[in-house]
Amino acid sequence: MKNFQFLFLALLLIGLGSCAKKGGLQEGTWRGELALAGDRTVPFLFEVKKQGTDSATFTLINGEERVELPGAAFHGDTLIVPIVAYDAVLKGFVTDNRIEGKFIKNYIEDDPGVPFTAVYGVTKRFAPVAQPTTRKVDGKWDVLFVGESGDTTRNVGIFKTDDAIVTGSVLTNSGDLRFLEGAYTGEGVQLSAFGGLSPYYIELNFTADTLFEGTFHTTRGTTKLLGMKNDAAALVDAYSLAGLKSGYETLSFALPDLEGNTVSLSDERYKGKVVIVSILGSWCPNCLDEMAFLAPWYEENKGRGVEILGIAFERKDDEAYAKKAIGQLKERYHTGYPILFGGAVGKENVAGALPELDNFSSYPTTIFIDKRGKVRTIHTGFNGPATGLFYEEFINEFNTLVDSLLKE
């Protein structure tokens, strides 16, 4: 009898635990926090929508951006949320409408992960302060990232305020810092973003109406920021940074596609056509922004005598790993043009695959080639939809450039 009572009690506790676990994953808005360097945390919002009884879709929220993470499910007592685009995962335990766990990068062997927590029902990214500053961050700013040696890199900040919520981004010549979202503090502004790869947290304190000082926090460390209001703020011309080495006019790469076939610009498919070559990585958020533009653009324009080729440099110099990562990328964006594997990420590998290229500095880098096979111009970086008018200006420049090459 005692054995029966013990078994009954054990089964009851297991059942109650399971109900508490699965019942705790409520549909609706959650507020999470990821640990950063220096005992800081970066807040982020996400929505949970259940898909049947065994899985759910998490949607990360950053301003206007929505990043869907389908396939979240319990594996035993552990909730696992795959972040397929970046080969990462959110893994944790759910109790009393709270999640405690870690953000883990699968591609790093024995990654200890970044601690995170989340609470159900909290809809504010930042708690409002009693007396927020009356100064506004709206508009364009020259933003300097100040390194340890005192070196500065000039970038552009663009921000706007709507119903006390601040949104915007910081543009660099590599790309942008995603869709930042935040609120005013007593002295300035706090902003954050988490789209599945690198969490960002920015603190800005006004020192005058047109000046601020701040700190950019990531999981790796902090960088000092200086800002000056400037309605004419602009980056260095993205077409002036990279080029070809002296004496070269063409590219001579021969690299494998996902089926193992060697592809080069001398192939019949590319003869007599305008060709756009994108140097990218499946791990690179700005590359994904570029692909979100290029993939549908190609489908609409491929009949005009233009081709696109991607050359991906991945986290590992491993064909099986690259094939999986690139294949998932192509599937996600319904990409109709080939993406070749160039090797592991790194300037030295880009130089090995594309020896004619000079001053490569950023993923993505986009190369425009005319009908004769000659490189006409090279664009460094990609500032995506989070940058508003800058993104629209790039699209206009892109179409004008391609149109001019097609008319030749």
- The tens digit of pLDDT for each residue in 315-347 reads 999 999 999 999 999 999 999 999 999 999 999
Tokens standing for residue 3: 């054995």
Task: Choose which CATH entry (2.60.40, 2.40.128, 3.40.50, 2.40.50) describes domain 16-120.
Answer: 2.40.128
Task: Choose which CATH entry (3.40.50.740, 3.30.365.10, 3.40.30.10, 3.20.20.100) describes domain 243-407.
Answer: 3.40.30.10
3-state secondary structure of 114: strand
Q: Can you give the pLDDT at residue 145?
A: 93
What are the residue ranges spanned by the domains of the chain? 16-120, 139-229, 243-407
- pLDDT category at 154 given cuts 50, 70, 90 is confident
Q: Can you give the pLDDT at residue 5?
A: 42
pLDDT at 17 over 80: no
Task: Calculate the average pLDDT of the chain.
Answer: 92
Q: Which of 97, 168, 72, 92 is nearest to 388 (CA)?
A: 168
DSSP 196-248: SS--EEEEEEEEETTEEEEEEE-SS-EEEEEEEE-TT--PPPTTSS-EE-TT-
Percent of the chain with pLDDT over 90: 88
pLDDT at 3 over 70: no
- The tens digit of pLDDT for each residue in 370-408 reads 999 999 999 999 999 999 989 999 999 999 999 999 999
- pLDDT category at 12 given cuts 50, 70, 90 is very low
Distance (Å, rounded) from C-alpha 217 to C-alpha 41? 9
Q: Which residues contact 215 (CB under 8 A, 6 or more apart)?
A: 202, 203, 222, 223, 224, 225
- pLDDT category at 310 given cuts 50, 70, 90 is very high
Task: Choose which CATH entry (2.40.128.120, 3.40.30.10, 3.50.50.60, 3.40.50.300) describes domain 139-229.
Answer: 2.40.128.120
CATH topology identical between 16-120 and 139-229: yes
Determine the average pLDDT of the residues in 210-233: 94
Determine the average pLDDT of the residues in 44-50: 97
